[in-house]
Amino acid sequence: MSKLFHLSRAQKWFQLSRSSVLRALAILTLGLLAAHGAKAQKVTMEFDRTADFSKYKTFAIRDGRLNSANPALNSPLVKKQIEADIQNDLTAKGLTLVTSGSADLNIRYTFGAVRKSEVEAYPAGWYGMGTRYVRVPYAEGTLVIDLHDPTTRSLVWRTIAAEEKSDATKIQGKLDSMVKKSIDKYPPKK
């Protein structure tokens, strides 16, 4: 009867090995979830606290620059997409587009994408005691939207939206979201 309650060395090793694998998988899953959250779209905003945003009723898109080494992101079609998104989102906020002449706000934007890489560490080896380092390449796209007051010739509002993807061409699919999340922060709450 005592033999039933005693485990053989192989059974003990199997239980230890199995628990180590489960522990390593749990750590890996948490790491991947944290990495996914870290690579989410980020939008930051800054503005002139002395500016009266209620007086701005019209806008004009004055300048747009694309700074990407990837030809798919450095195209006139991408520029049209960004400008259409800015126009749609600002008109939804109640502002009116001015195609010629003076406007209350002049819009300037810059969009760029660069290749980057980061090193991620994963548990490896016996019992998950070792560490394996992996270089993970990704593309970071950044969209900066500036609103200038032409009467004071000063910057009154800026957003910076950053998106990280494994492939630079996938950033193009996120442009609508980058613009929308940026314009959603207008007008700022003081």
pLDDT digits (tens, 9 = 90+) for 109-142: 998 876 666 676 666 666 656 776 777 665 578 8
Block residue for tokens 């009723």: 57
Residues 17 and 97 in one domain: no
Please state the rounded mean pLDDT for residues 61-74: 85
> 12 or 183, which is more confident?
183
Residues 60 and 31 in one domain: no
pLDDT the model gives residue 158: 93
* Residue 189 included in any domain: no
pLDDT the model gives residue 67: 85
The pLDDT of residue 20 is above 50: yes
* Residue 188 included in any domain: no
Please state the rounded mean pLDDT for residues 157-179: 84
Least confident of 103-112, 135-144, 157-166: 135-144
**Which candidate, 156, 149, 145, 154, places its Cα nearest to that of 182?**
145
Residues 51 and 63 in one domain: yes
Domain containing 19 equals 1-38
Residues 77 and 49 in one domain: yes
What do you get for the CA distance between the two ends of the chain, in Å? 76
Residues 12 and 94 in one domain: no
